[in-house]
Amino acid sequence: MLKCLLPALFWALIILFLSAHPQIGISKPSWLLQPDKFAHAGAYALLSFLLQYGFKQAYVPVILGTIYGITIEFLQQAFFYGRQLDVFDMLANLVGCLIGVFVFPCFSPYFPFMRK
């Protein structure tokens, strides 16, 4: 099972690395649909897509990905300089996880190594 989860673990480390970098000097618009939210949704869609390969139930990648995204947001607030907690980032992470789970069945037939 760990072999099935290695791509997801690798991608989770990349998300952590990118989340740890400060974003000083980058102004954010006040509206909800920021480009940042699309980046969050895309990153977590890929994470849940990769997690889906390791789990049979679709809800497990959504739960794990969302918990990971929430944890990253709290880590940003507590430990990463120049970063702060954003509830809308958490929401974008959840939406991305849902997208990844719904996309998995569409693309898994094209990747033989992802067939269950």
**pLDDT confidence of 91, banded at 50, 70, 90?**
very high
Cβ atoms within 10 Å of 14's Cβ, excluding its own = 13
Cα 99–Cα 100–Cα 103 angle in degrees, nearest 5: 85
Average pLDDT, the chain: 83
| Exposure of 96 in the CB half-sphere (CA atoms within 13 A) | 28
What is the distance between the alpha carbons of residues 110 and 98, in angstroms, rounded to a whole number? 20
Contacts of 58 (CB under 8 A, 6+ apart): 52, 101, 104
Is the pLDDT at 85 greater than 60? The verdict is yes
Rounded to the nearest 5°, which phi and psi values hold at 56? Answer: -85, -35
**pLDDT confidence of 112, banded at 50, 70, 90?**
low
Rounded to the nearest 5°, which phi and psi values hold at 81? Answer: -65, 135
Sorted by where each begins, the domain ranges of the chain are: 2-15+35-114
pTM over 0.75? The answer is yes
For 61-78, the pLDDT digits (tens) are 999 999 999 999 898 877
Task: Assign residue 82 a region (left: φ > 0; alpha: ψ between -120 and 50; beta: otherwise).
Answer: left
